[in-house]
Amino acid sequence: MSEKSKSLFVDCSEAATCCTKAQYDEAGFFEKIKLTIHLAFCRTCRTFSSRNSKLTHKLKEANLECCSEEKKKEWRENISKLQSEEHTS
């Protein structure tokens, strides 16, 4: 842990990282305290934090799904197979 992050008073970039970690429930206890203290006196980060929470909410609402990696691999293979067949014919 760096000297800087041991302090309870952090700069905006570290607060932003803590805020992003908090969106994924991965901010530690100490990080949450640092973030709360920082937000108490930094209006810019407060705006950022509220926008970040809104984004998390929207992402949950959208309920996005990705296709499985196996399917993607299968499609990639099919496409390159067909392409090479076309080149040879």
**Interacting residues with other proteins (CB under 8 A):** 16-17, 20-21, 23-24, 26, 51-52, 54-55, 58-59, 61-67, 71-72, 74-76, 78-80, 82-83, 86
Whose Cβ is closer to other proteins: residue 43's or residue 63's? 63
Minimum Å distance from CB 71 to other proteins? 5
Whose Cβ is closer to other proteins: residue 40's or residue 66's? 66
Angle in degrees, 0-180, between the axes of helices 12-23 and 43-62, rounded to the nearest 10: 20
Is 10 exposed, middle or buried (CB count within 10 Å of its CB: 0-12, 13-18, 19+)? buried
If we measure between CA atoms, which residue out of 69, 77, 65, 24 comes closest to residue 32?
24
